[in-house]
Structure 1
Amino acid sequence: MTTPSFTVPELEAQEAELELPRFTYEDAWTLGSLLRELAVARHAPVTIDIHRGPQQLFRCALPGSTPDNDAWVDRKRRVTERYAAASYLVGARFRAKNTTFEASSHLNPDTYAAHGGSFPLRVTDTGVIGTVTVSGLPQVEDHALVVEALRAFKGQVG
Structure 2
Amino acid sequence: MSVLVADGDRPREGGPDRKVVDVAVGVLVRENGDFLLTSRPPGKVYEGYWEFPGGKLERGETVEQALRRELHEEIGVSIAAIHPWKVELVDYPHALVRLNFCKVFEWVGELQMHEGQLFAWQSLPVTLQPVLPGTIPVLVWLAEERGFTDATQLRA
TM bin (shorter chain): under 0.3
More helix by share: 1
TM-score by length of 1: 0.26
TM-score, scaled to structure 2: 0.26
The structure with more radius of gyration = 2
More strand by share: 2
